[in-house]
Structure 1
Amino acid sequence: MNTMVKPTQLISFEKGKELNKNYNEKRGALVTERSGLEDANAFWFSIEELERYIAYVKENAVEKGYMVDGIRIYLGVYPETEEKNAGYTTVFLTPTGTIIDEQGGRGGASLQGNALDITTIEPLNFGSMGNPPKLNYGG
């Protein structure tokens, strides 16, 4: 039986509410003012989709000669030509890691946060936004 290991980077519910409130007041308000859109501030991916993406990344990374060490989350904005989401904020996930050298070792430094994007594996996008697009955490 596998024993679950509690993640080390958890925050409290209260801290999450504070961070979301700060974003809405300090960044979200500026985005809304500038773009004229009530923009997204939260995105949702199913556990199944995230697990499927992680499995896809791990398998493809080995085939392409990489050792995966994480997932980086980028912010983006859909182009004005995007019919449904034109001008809205999005997030996309991309794997990070290092090239495996010919001896099977790591071919470059990869420290937390400094890992290189693996650009030969497609990023994951198209999570769903709230409706309306803006949500308040815990509320």
Structure 2
Amino acid sequence: MKNFGSLILGILLGALAMYFYCSKDADKTEGPVAVAAPYGIISPAKIDSLTQAYNQRHKIISDSLFKKSKTKDNRSSWYKLEVIEDYIKYAKHQASENKYTMDGLRLYLGAYPDVSAEEPGLTTLLFVPTGYKNTSEGSFFSMQGRSNDLDDSDGLNLGKEGMPPGANYPQ
């Protein structure tokens, strides 16, 4: 009976300790959580500056290739957030199956084939996974330098063009 009393006392003390331990963690999560800005964040003013600097190039492209077209070339592509998140999961899985470690995404400008002489194909933005070949698991010397395109992995396309396609930042 003495052992049974010790068992009950141990369970009560353990439950009490867990209560205080868990309530201490709960106090930490209350209030706003600070999120660090990732490398490369730029302000809306900088976005505006960079897109304005592209105006001359866009004008040259539009004036030479789209002079007979009813629309101007694309200046942007829009992707639904869930599509990008799903693509990243898919690309990581595909890279792993191909024995690569995916470490990033590279964006390429592309263009659709011309519809006709009067309707050239619009510019599009493509996501391509990047990474490196898995050489050996747990090796200290497997550190890689430059990240390469995973050319046996699928990319992402079919974002929605801006409205109108030639519209500059902000839309």
- Sort the TM-score into its range (normalised by shorter chain): 0.7 to 0.9
Instruction: Return closer, same or farther for 1:92/1:22 CA change in 2, 3 Å cut-off.
Output: same
Whole-angstrom distance in 1 between the partners of 2:138 and 2:98: 13
Q: Match for residue 54 of structure 1?
A: 88
**Which of 131, 136, 141 is the matching residue for 1:97?**
131
Once the two structures are superposed, residues 18-48 of structure 1 have per-residue CA deviations (whole angstroms, 9 ceiling, x without a partner) of: 1111112x21001101112410011100110
Let me know the Cα RMSD of the aligned residues: 2.3
Letter paired with 2:144:
A
Identify, as 1 or 2, the structure richer in helix: 2
1:135 aligns with 2:167: yes
CA deviations on 1:102-122 (whole Å, 9 max, x unpaired) are 445575733xxx311001111
TM-score norm. by structure 1 comes to 0.84
Equivalent residue, structure 1, for 2:79:
45
Amino acid at match of 1:77: A
SS at match of 2:129: strand
CA deviations on 1:73-122 (whole Å, 9 max, x unpaired) are 0011111259xx85211110000000001445575733xxx311001111
Counterpart of 1:77? 111
- Structure 2 portions without partners, runs of 5+: 1-28
* Gaps in structure 1 of 5+ consecutive residues: none
Pick closer, same or farther for the CA change 1:49–1:91 going to 2, 3 Å: same
Name segments (4+ residues, structure 1) moved above 2 Å.
1-5, 102-110
Q: Select the residue among 6, 26, 29 that pairs with 2:59.
A: 29
Q: Which amino acid aligns with 1:22?
A: A
CA contact (8 A) 2:65 2:120 kept: no
Instruction: Decide which structure has the larger Cα Rg and report it.
Output: 2
Contact 1:41–1:134 under 8 Å retained in 2:
yes
Count of equivalent residues: 133
The answer as to whether partners of 1:99 and 1:108 remain within 8 angstroms in 2 is: no
1:136 Cα deviation from its structure 2 partner: 1.9
Distance change >3 Å, CA 41–CA 3, structure 1 → 2: same
Q: Larger RCO: Structure 1 or Structure 2 (Cα < 8 Å, ≥ 6 residues apart)?
A: 1
Residue 63 of structure 1 is matched in structure 2 by 97
